[in-house]
Structure 1
Amino acid sequence: MPWRALAVAPVAFLGVFFVYPLVAVMAQSLTDPAGGLDVSGFVKIVTSAYYRETLWFTTWQAALSTLLTVAAALPAAVVFVRFRFPGKSLLMALATLPFVLPTVVVAAAFDALLGNSGLLNSGLMAAFGLDSAPIQLERTLTLVLIAHVFYNFAVVLRMIVSYWSNQSPQVEEAARSLGAGSWQLWTRVRLPMLAPAISAASVLVFIFTFTSFGVVLILGGPRYATLEVEIYRQALSIFDLPVAAALSLIQIGLMFGMLLVYSRLQRRITVPMRGEASVSRLPHSWRAKLGALVVVAAMTALLVTPLAALVVRALTTAGGLENFARLAQNPRGSILFVPPLAAVGNSLVFASITTALAVGLGLITAALVNARRWRWLDALFMLPLATSAVTLGFGYLIAMGNPPLNLRSSAVLIPLAHTLVALPFVVRAVLPALQLIPNNVTDAARALGEGPAGVWRRVRLPIIGRAVAVGASFSFTVSLGEFGASLFIARPDTPTIPIVIFRLLGQPGASNYGQALAMSVILLIVCGAAFAIIERLRISVAGVF
Structure 2
Amino acid sequence: MTATTCTARTGAAVTAPAAAPARSRTVPAWVWALPPVALLALAFLYPLALVVQQSFTPDEGGLSLDPYAEVFASASFRDALTTTVWLALGSTAGCLVLGFVLALVIAFVPFPGGKAVARFVDVFLSFPSFLITLALLFIYGSVGMANGLWTGATGAADGPFHFLTTPWGVLLAEITYFTPFVMRPLLAAFSQLDTSQLEVASSLGAGPARIIRRVILPEALPALAAGGSLVLVMCLNEFGIVLFTGAKGVTTLPMLVYSKAILESDYAAACVVAVVNIAISVGLYSLYRVVSRRAGA
Q: Is contact 1:125–1:132 with CA below 8 Å preserved after alignment?
A: yes
The TM-score, its normalising length taken from structure 1, stands at: 0.46
- Cα distance per residue 1:141-191 (max 9 Å; x no partner): 222122112211211111111112212334445544555444433333332
**In 1, Cα distance between the equivalents of 2:294 and 2:129?**
31
- The structure with higher relative contact order (CA 8 Å, sep 6+) is 2
Deviation at 1:257, TM superposition (A): 1.9
Change (3 A) 1:270 1:107: farther
**Counterpart for residue 229 of structure 1:** 255
Post-superposition shift, 1:138? 3.7
Letter in 2 for 1:58: T
Deviation by residue 1:294-323 (Cα, 9 ceiling, x = unmatched): xxxxxxxxxxxxxxxxxxxxxxxxxxxxxx
Taking the aligned partners of 1:132 and 1:62, their CA distance within structure 2 comes to 32
1:202 and 2:228 aligned? yes
Where does 1:282-301 land on structure 2 (aligned, <5 Å)? none
Distance change in 2, residues 1:175/1:91 (3 Å): closer
- Per-residue deviation, residues 253-296 of structure 1 (Å, max 9, x unmatched): 1111222344457779997xxxxxxxxxxxxxxxxxxxxxxxxx
Distance 1:216 1:189, change over 3 A: same
Q: Cα deviations across residues 354-397 of structure 1 (Å, max 9, x unaligned)?
A: xxxxxxxxxxxxxxxxxxxxxxxxxxxxxxxxxxxxxxxxxxxx
Normalization by structure 2: what TM-score? Answer: 0.81
Q: 1:50 aligns with which of 65, 76, 86?
A: 76
2:85 aligned to 41, 59, 62, which one? 59
Alignment of 1:193-272 (within 5 A): 193-263=219-289
8 A contact 1:196–1:268 mirrored in 2: no
Are 1:83 and 2:83 counterparts?
no
2 CA distance for matches of 1:169 and 1:240?
Answer: 58
Alpha-carbon distance in structure 2 between the residues aligned to 1:188 and 1:108? 40
Give 1:121's match in structure 2, choosing from 141, 144, 147.
147
The ranges of structure 1 where at least 4 consecutive aligned residues each deviate by more than 6 angstroms after the TM superposition are 1-5, 265-271
What's the offset of the Cα at 1:231?
A: 0.6
Q: Is the 8 A contact 2:167 2:247 kept in 1?
A: no
User: Which residue among 183, 187, 212 is the counterpart of 1:157?
Assistant: 183
Contact 2:103 2:183 in 1 (8 A): yes
Aligned positions of 1:317-336 closer than 5 A: none
Contact 2:59 2:268 (C-alpha < 8 Å) held by counterparts: no
Q: Compared with structure 1, are the counterparts of its residues 180 and 5 closer, same or farther at alpha carbon in structure 2 (3 Å cutoff)?
A: closer
**Partner of residue 63, structure 2:** 37
Residue type of the alignment partner of 1:86: P
CA–CA separation in structure 2 for the residues paired with 1:13 and 1:93: 34
Q: Could you tell me the percent identity over the aligned residues?
A: 29
Output the amino acid matched with 2:244.
I
Task: Write the distance in 2 (CA, Å) between the matches of 1:269 and 1:153.
Answer: 24
Distance 1:164 1:270, change over 3 A: farther
CA distance in structure 2 between the aligned counterparts of 1:28 and 1:11, rounded to whole angstroms: 24
> What SS does structure 2 have at the residue aligned with 1:104?
helix
1:27 aligned partner: 53
Q: Distance in 2 between matches of 1:204 and 1:112?
A: 28
Instruction: Kindly indicate whether the alpha-carbon contact (under 8 Å) linking 1:63 and 1:206 is maintained by their aligned counterparts in 2.
Output: yes
Task: Determine whether 1:190 maps to 2:216.
Answer: yes
Residues 80-109 of structure 1: CA deviation (Å, up to 9, x unaligned)? 221333222221222333321223322222
Distance change (3 Å), C-alpha of 1:37 and 1:141: same
Asked if the contact 2:54/2:271 (under 8 Å) is kept, the reply is yes
Partner of 1:105: 131
Distance 1:152 1:193, change over 3 A: same
Separation of aligned partners in 1, 2:179 and 2:272: 32
SS of structure 1 residue aligned to 2:194: coil
Unmatched tracts of structure 2, length 5 or more: 1-25
- Candidates 98, 103, 112, aligned match of 1:72: 98
* d(CA) in 2 for partners of 1:110, 1:83: 28
Flag the 1:270–1:165 CA change in 2: closer, same or farther, 3 A: farther
Q: What is the SS of the residue equivalent to 1:222?
A: coil
Name the CA distance, whole Å, in 1 between partners of 2:35 and 2:287: 30
CA contact (8 A) 2:92 2:232 kept: yes
5 Å-filtered alignment, 1:104-503, equals 104-176=130-202, 179-263=205-289
Aligned residue for 2:125, secondary structure, equals helix
Q: Does 1:11 align with 2:11?
A: no
Please list the CA deviations of residues 300-351 of structure 1 after superposition, one character each: whole Å capped at 9, or x if unmatched: xxxxxxxxxxxxxxxxxxxxxxxxxxxxxxxxxxxxxxxxxxxxxxxxxxxx
What is the one-letter code of the residue matched to 1:160?
Answer: L
Asked if 2 retains the 8 angstrom alpha-carbon contact of 1:116 and 1:137, the reply is no
* Conserved? CA contact 2:181–2:227, under 8 Å: yes
Deviation at 1:35?
Answer: 6.2
Name the aligned partner's letter for residue 75 of structure 1: V
Q: Distance in 2 between matches of 1:103 and 1:268?
A: 34
Distance 1:163 1:262, change over 3 A: farther
- Structure 1 portions without partners, runs of 5+: 272-545
Q: Name 1:95's counterpart in structure 2.
A: 121
For 2:293 and 2:190, the matched residues in 1 are separated by: 15
Q: For 2:231 and 2:39, locate their aligned partners in 1 and report how far apart those are by CA, in whole Å.
A: 28
Q: CA deviation at 1:66?
A: 1.0
Q: Is the 8 Å Cα contact of residues 58 and 210 (structure 1) preserved in structure 2?
A: yes
C-alpha spacing 1:34/1:136, structure 2 compared with 1 (3 Å): closer
- Alpha carbons 2:57, 2:67 under 8 Å: kept: no
Structure 2: distance between partners of 1:98 and 1:172: 30
- Please tell me the residue identity of whatever aligns with 1:230: L
